[in-house]
Amino acid sequence: MIEIKNLHKSYKMGSNSLHVLKGINFSVQEGELVAIMGSSGSGKSTLLNILGMLDNYDEGEYTLDGVLIKDLGETKAANYRNKFLGFIFQSFNLINYKSAWENVALPLYYQRVGRKDRKTKAEKYLASVGLKEWSDHLPSELSGGQKQRVAIARAMAAEPKVLLADEPTGALDSKTSHEVMDLIQKINDEGKTILVVTHEEDIAHMCKRIVHLKDGVIVRDEVVEQVRVSSYV
Ligand code: ADP
Ligand code: MG
């Protein structure tokens, strides 16, 4: 599904350059649930943004579902992004003046789904994250955990091949974090490929594989025994 070879990325700032990713090699098969783990500043978001086609890389190769992602124009990148990828962010990134279902429906708008079908589909995905009754509520009327579930429904609604989550539990208390990870595990159970960036050990162990990033290189890549959130209760 994802294949990365010798990936390098530097940020240029005036005459200075910060070498952030220093030769990353890894691949992800369909159906995996992978944690990308590392301390702050290790390059996790940089890597995820490149995987998400939100940023370019300098050297190496990135192939997504058989397509070489390199030097794509803005339009082509946007098309691939809509078709292949769903995003979940630490800060939810919901639109404040739109209701839960309208937020979930937004990617469908870009896929040119008609309004009626958008609403039906958005409500189906909201129901799948346990928010059927919250469809008409604004983000400000929802708790942090509920907001993240709306964001997950939004990411799922476009039926992407891969879900990319950057610190999805970073703004949540531990009980709510675990509820979000429970949902992520259940979505993965149905076969969705998911990458979760985190700096938290317990969150990483709720995935099936942990890729450890340190100073822009992968220092360890291990298969782990998945801790099931549902077994906590
Ligand atoms: P992480 O997500 O692991 O905390 P990041 O990928 O966000 O790490 O950042 C890695 C390094 O790159 C940090 O030193 C950060 O300050 C720097 N960095 C990130 N984004 C930019 C940018 N747009 N311009 C310049 N430097 C950046
Ligand atoms: Mg980050």
- 88-106 pLDDT tens trace: 999 999 999 999 999 999 9
Answer yes or no: is the C-beta of 219 below 6 A from any ligand 1 atom.
Answer: no
DSSP state of 24: E
Nearest of 172, 122, 178 to residue 142 by alpha carbon? 172
CATH of domain 2-232: 3.40.50.300
Q: How many CB atoms lie within 10 A of CB 224?
A: 13
Indicate the angle between helix axes 100-110 and 144-157, nearest 10 degrees: 20
CA of 114 to the centre of ligand 1 (A): 39
Question: What strands, in cross-sheet order, belong to the sheet with 67-68?
Answer: 16-28, 2-13, 59-64, 67-68
Answer yes or no: is the C-beta of 20 below 6 A from any ligand 1 atom.
Answer: yes
> Around ion ligand 2, which residues have CB less than 5 A away?
45
Q: Are 36 and 44 in contact (CB under 8 A)?
A: yes
C-alpha–C-alpha distance, residues 155 and 70, integer Å: 23
The model's pTM: 0.95
C-alpha–C-alpha distance, residues 204 and 227, integer Å: 9
Q: Are 13 and 207 in contact (CB under 8 A)?
A: no
Answer yes or no: is the C-beta of 37 below 6 A from any ligand 1 atom.
Answer: no
Q: What is the pLDDT of residues 14-25, one digit of tens each?
A: 899 999 999 999
Confidence band (pLDDT; 50, 70, 90) for 111? Answer: confident
Answer yes or no: is the C-beta of 40 below 6 A from any ligand 1 atom.
Answer: yes
Residues 6+ apart with CB under 8 A from 115: none
Which structure tokens are listed for 144?
């942090």
CA of 51 to the centre of ligand 2 (A): 14
Nearest-atom index, ligand 1, CA of 13: 25
Answer yes or no: is the C-beta of 18 below 6 A from any ligand 1 atom.
Answer: yes
Confidence band (pLDDT; 50, 70, 90) for 233? Answer: low
Of all residues in the chain, what percent carry a pLDDT higher than 70? 99
Residue whose Cα lies nearest atom 25 of ligand 1: it is: 11
For all residues of the chain together, what is the average pLDDT? 94
